[in-house]
């Protein structure tokens, strides 16, 4: 895949920043590239949990505590209604655990992805009424449930909404559902300083408020930190502001967690006693917790987190890992089939792929893989339960605001929603070809939009790399969405030696020498045989420096993320 290399050229007094914070000018430049203002750099480098924003600034937070306290005093039944993804499951666990701690009669319900779809609905409310529930607390959903909230009111059930999704607008003002309290930092009149938190963090903040009210210790509230961190990474929140603090300290808490379910999952995933990073949540732990909501029921993941004995926890963790392995196999089958369809058809600017046998919960993942492979917007459709209907998900590129484009194609669709980079939709099967033609005819995409941009922090010869620099760059972690790991570049690097490693031939170890004569070992994770076949004597590289520890020896090396061969 062709890529366009872009070098950050942001200006600042890097020497001054370096001297003030006792860091290298290279580290200073990386922070400036991440739009960190000098006044915020101390907190960015050395933030503490005490730097989290005050939960009392959340609109309706105190009102929600009063409602909960009254329900407990009157011995009324409370039900938490979550969502089937990782954020909803984690938020449900946090709220149920917190409410149990203060003596509430509480249980939990999570919608079924296929049968119920997203969010609270009339059937869930009818079931709650039949079970004698007096108060529902939603988490990671509810802000758009206008009809369901009206129905809950008619049924005599009080509702507290906790959510983080976008608030609907009417004539420039918030349109809010009917509820006793709504806690969502995206409300226009909410004075919480950062609205980029996930649903589980909103729930965690509510727990903080009612723990204060009931004199439960700050230390007990911190026991839920690791779950809030898992949700933050798993729901792909921007790792900025307090999200960085939550994930930084949450990862350390997860390594020492007392939650039996999480301990079992770490064991099953072979992560026990390892230093955890956001990668481990995003690509190992998170997918296991998400798998049950995709293929069976999200209640399995919630049951794991609620486990009371290690034997049961291990059984549940193994089941989640099995489901995730099954999900990975199903996803790869779907990706392979989708690639065949794309490559057999004329080239299109917007990919619309129909997979009749695809599990609808995997459509978004497959669309994302197509987007990565072809650097084009991709929509994957599959059969819905309703006869003659298709459901699907789309993933987009920066130049194509997907939700806006679906609005233009409104006449072909039964239902749709989303944002610029992702969307969900449903339409009649008979409309697919016309829908595909319309999107492509009105895409306004040009060839340059299909070239992936790769951003470089600093063009840096190998001689600048040191263990101290690697350690300083690690201070900028956790890395992820909104806080990408630092990348460096060097031109005209000579390949002295190359050999393919791994049983799948997917690693290449290189001996390199830059134009200043500095030698360095390098690793490339790719199709090794194809790399060797294509390789020339010289190479331009984008890389990340790291320390390799092997049998007590520490050596510097670079991990190559992108490259361009050249004959020089």
pLDDT attached to residue 1: 65
Q: Do residue 435 and residue 467 come from a single domain?
A: no
Task: Look up the domain containing 444 and give its range.
Answer: 345-450
Which residue among 450, 485, 501 closes a domain? 450
Q: Do residue 64 and residue 152 come from a single domain?
A: yes
Q: Do residue 407 and residue 479 come from a single domain?
A: no
Residue 259 lies in a domain: no
pLDDT attached to residue 115: 81
Q: Do residue 105 and residue 210 come from a single domain?
A: yes
* DSSP codes, 474-486: HTTPPPBTTBPPP
Which residue among 450, 480, 514 closes a domain? 450
**Which helix H or strand E contains 134, and what residues bound it?**
strand 133-139
For the four alpha carbons of 323, 325, 329 and 335, in that order, the dihedral sign comes to positive
CATH of the domain at 525: 2.40.50.460
Which residue among 186, 219, 252 closes a domain? 219
Q: Do residue 529 and residue 411 come from a single domain?
A: no
Instruction: Identify the three-state secondary structure at position 442.
Output: coil
Q: Do residue 468 and residue 498 come from a single domain?
A: yes
Q: Do residue 360 and residue 430 come from a single domain?
A: yes
For the four alpha carbons of 380, 285, 269 and 477, in that order, the dihedral sign comes to positive
Percent of the chain with pLDDT over 70: 100
Q: Do residue 352 and residue 375 come from a single domain?
A: yes
Q: Do residue 207 and residue 78 come from a single domain?
A: yes
Q: 385 falls in which pLDDT band (50, 70, 90)?
A: confident
How many whole angstroms separate alpha carbon 78 and alpha carbon 96?
9
Encoding tokens for residue 269?
């995933």
Question: Which whole number is the average pLDDT over 69-95?
Answer: 97
pLDDT at 125 over 90: yes
Contacting residues for 311 by C-beta, under 8 A, at least 6 apart: none
Taking all residues of the chain, what is their mean pLDDT, rounded to a whole number? 95
Radius of gyration of the chain (CA): 25
- 3-class SS string, 58-127: CCCHHHHHHHHHHHHHCCCEEEEECCCCHHHHHHHHHHHHHHHHCCCEEEEECCCCCCCCCCCCHHHHHH
Q: Do residue 388 and residue 403 come from a single domain?
A: yes
CATH of the domain at 124: 3.90.1640.30
For 167: left if phi > 0, alpha if psi spans -120 to 50, otherwise beta; the answer is: beta
pLDDT at 269 over 70: yes
Instruction: Identify the three-state secondary structure at position 283.
Output: helix
Q: Do residue 141 and residue 101 come from a single domain?
A: yes
pLDDT in tens, 506-517: 999 999 999 999
Q: Do residue 108 and residue 213 come from a single domain?
A: yes
pLDDT attached to residue 416: 83
Residue 70 lies in a domain: yes
Question: Which whole number is the average pLDDT over 388-410?
Answer: 93
Number of separate domains in the chain: 3
Contacting residues for 218 by C-beta, under 8 A, at least 6 apart: 211
CATH of the domain at 363: 3.10.310.30
Residue 394 pairs in a beta bridge with: 379, 423
Residue 227 lies in a domain: no
């Amino acid at each position: 895949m062709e890529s366009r290399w872009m070098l950050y050229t942001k200006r600042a007094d890097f020497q001054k920043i370096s001297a003030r914070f006792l860091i290298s000018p290279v580290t200073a430049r990386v922070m400036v590239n991440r739009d960190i203002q000098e006044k915020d750099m101390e907190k960015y480098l050395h933030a503490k949990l005490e730097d989290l924003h005050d939960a009392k600034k959340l609109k309706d937070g105190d009102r929600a505590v009063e409602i909960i306290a009254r329900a407990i005093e009157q011995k009324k039944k409370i039900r938490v209604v979550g969502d089937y993804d990782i954020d909803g499951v984690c938020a449900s666990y946090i709220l149920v655990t917190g409410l149990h701690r203060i003596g509430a009669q509480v249980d939990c319900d999570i919608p079924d992805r296929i049968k119920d779809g997203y969010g609270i609905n009339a059937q869930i409310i009818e079931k709650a009424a039949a079970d004698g529930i007096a108060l529902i607390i939603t988490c990671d959903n509810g802000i758009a449930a206008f009809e369901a909230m009206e129905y809950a009111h008619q049924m005599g059930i009080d509702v507290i909404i906790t959510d983080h999704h976008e608030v609907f607008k009417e004539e420039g003002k918030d349109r809010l559902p009917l509820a006793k309290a709504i806690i969502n930092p995206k409300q226009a009149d909410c004075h919480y300083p950062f609205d980029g938190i996930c649903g589980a963090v909103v729930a965690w903040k509510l727990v903080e408020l009612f723990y204060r009210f009931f004199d439960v210790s700050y230390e007990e509230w911190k026991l839920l930190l690791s779950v809030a961190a898992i949700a933050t990474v798993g729901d792909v929140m921007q790792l900025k502001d307090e999200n960085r603090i939550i994930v930084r300290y949450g990862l350390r808490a997860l390594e020492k967690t007392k939650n039996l379910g999480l301990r079992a999952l770490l064991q099953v995933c072979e992560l026990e006693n390892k230093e955890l990073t956001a990668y481990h949540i995003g690509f190992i732990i998170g997918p296991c917790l998400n798998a049950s909501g995709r293929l069976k029921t999200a209640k399995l993941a919630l049951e794991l987190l609620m486990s009371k004995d290690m034997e049961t926890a291990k059984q549940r963790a193994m089941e989640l890992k099995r489901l995730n392995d099954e999900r990975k196999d199903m996803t790869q089958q779907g990706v392979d089939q989708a690639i065949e369809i794309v490559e057999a058809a004329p080239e299109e600017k917007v990919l619309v792929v129909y997979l009749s046998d695809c599990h609808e919960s995997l459509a978004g993942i497959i669309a994302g893989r197509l987007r990565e492979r072809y650097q084009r917007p991709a929509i994957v459709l599959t059969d819905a339960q309703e006869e003659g209907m298709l459901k699907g998900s789309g993933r987009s590129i920066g130049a194509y605001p997907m939700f806006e484009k679906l609005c233009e194609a409104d006449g072909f669709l039964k239902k749709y929603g989303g944002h610029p980079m992702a969307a969900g939709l449903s339409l009649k099967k008979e409309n697919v070809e016309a829908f595909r033609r319309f999107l492509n005819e009105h895409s306004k995409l040009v060839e340059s939009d299909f070239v992936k941009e790769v951003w470089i922090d600093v063009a840096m010869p190998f001689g600048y790399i040191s263990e101290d620099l690697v350690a300083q760059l690690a201070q900028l972690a956790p890395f992820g969405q909104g806080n990408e790991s630092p990348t460096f570049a060097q031109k005209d690097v000579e390949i002295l030696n190359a050999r393919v490693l791994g049983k799948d031939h997917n690693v290449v170890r290189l001996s390199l020498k830059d134009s200043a004569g500095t030698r360095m070992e390098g690793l490339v994770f790719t199709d090794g045989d194809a790399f060797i076949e294509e390789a020339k004597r010289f190479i331009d590289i984008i890389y990340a420096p790291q320390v390799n520890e092997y049998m007590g020896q520490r050596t510097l090396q670079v991990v190559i993320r992108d490259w361009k061969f050249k004959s020089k």
